[in-house]
Amino acid sequence: MSKELEELRSEIESVDQKILDLLNDRASIVQEIGKLKEMQGVKRFDPVRERKLLDLIEDRNKGPFETSTLQYIFKQIFKASLELQEDDNRKALLVSRKKKPDDTIINIKGELIGTGEQHFVMGPCAVESYDQVKQVAKALKDQGLTLMRGGAFKPRTSPYDFQGLGMEGLKILRQVADEENLAVISEILNPNDLEEALDYVDVVQIGARNMQNFELLKAAGAIRKPVLLKRGLSATIEEFMYAAEYILAQGNDQIILCERGIRTYEKATRNTLDISAVPILKKETHLPVMVDVTHSTGRRDLLLPAAKAALAIGADGVMAEVHPDPAVALSDSAQQMNIPQFHEFMNELKKHSVVHSS
């Protein structure tokens, strides 16, 4: 009886080995199908095909397993196969750390982003005048900062709100930046403006509302200047990564990702800061990651704690807005710091971070 039991167990081991080999053979075929679907732009999951295979199991099952049991087992095989195809696709992405294990380091006028030192991008929400930008630039200079943001083209929810000074605003930014030896980061909305804008900006910003403006992403991929790409208002991390992939696919790997909060049901803040996105993006991609604490919170009183959280969790930098007199600002007055508040903000952060200072 013991001998018979051992023989049966030996048969099971032999069958298990065959099942294992067949599953791996099946997985290899699944990978090839995934590559073909990727080339054709076809979705990997095919519910009609899955339903057909489950019906086939019902028609051909001779027992002793119940059909529902076998269908459950095969559903798990289908799920694992889909995950295998998705994993293969992630490995193939240019943005993926699996494709490029080393961190991408971006040089902006001698300031290296992505080295582990933490940086700050500060400036007014919107460029309003030379004097306004000059006051903010001097404050940045006093703190040893070199990266100045400022909006010249403003995508606003209401068509009646201030839309920015356009190219004239970029010229003001460039003039002040040259006088104070700063770098300019500013948003461009239209691919047709990109070529002219390159004369005035050091970093092209693509804002949240344009994260999936694919023609703009492709145009930004064709230039040879860094791009700061903000996460869309309701974008998943995967969609954010694919937006960056559009830029990389055109040859430009100088990309800074920026988490700026996502839209949820919460009303206490302007958006909800997805702080967990920082380590996820750092793990999944090789690109530097910054956090915009102004647009994520929309509240001046939350800028400092949000910035501390961003730096503590590993962000390469923090972006925030500064205005000489926020009460009269032409856009987003409630979320901008005045200059004394900015100095207090910076002095507090410098106590807790590895800050780059020029």
Q: Two tokens at 140?
A: 């940045």
> Directed axis angle between helix 167-180 and helix 130-142, to 10°?
40
CB of 116 within 8 A of CB of 317? no
Say how far apart CA 42 and CA 34 lie, in whole Å. 9
Please give the pLDDT value at position 350. Answer: 87
Q: Two tokens at 323?
A: 């205005």
Please give the pLDDT value at position 49. Answer: 87
Please give the pLDDT value at position 88. Answer: 63
Sequence-distant (≥ 6) Cβ neighbours of residue 187 within 8 angstroms: 151, 152, 153, 154, 155, 204, 205, 206, 207, 210
Say how far apart CA 294 and CA 151 lie, in whole Å. 14
Local mean pLDDT, 10-residue blocks, the chain (358 residues): 86 94 92 82 81 92 93 92 74 88 96 96 96 98 97 84 89 98 97 95 97 97 96 96 96 97 95 97 97 96 97 97 94 91 95 62
> Directed axis angle between helix 47-60 and helix 67-92, to 10°?
150
Q: What is the pTM of this model?
A: 0.78
Please give the pLDDT value at position 57. Answer: 92
| Sequence letter at residue 301 | D
Is residue 309 within a helix (H) or strand (E), and if so which, with residue range?
helix 303-312
Please give the pLDDT value at position 353. Answer: 62
CB of 183 within 8 A of CB of 109? yes
Say how far apart CA 47 and CA 295 lie, in whole Å. 40
Please give the pLDDT value at position 145. Answer: 97
Residue 38, Cβ density class (10 Å: 0-12 exposed, 13-18 middle, ≥19 buried):
middle
Q: Could you read off the pLDDT of 143-171 as tens digits, one per residue?
A: 999 999 999 998 877 887 878 899 999 99
Provide the 3-class DSSP secondary structure of residue 44: coil
* DSSP class of 151: B
Residue 336, CB-side half-sphere exposure with 13 Å CA sphere? 23
Residue 86 burial (CB count, 10 A): 14
| Sequence letter at residue 114 | G
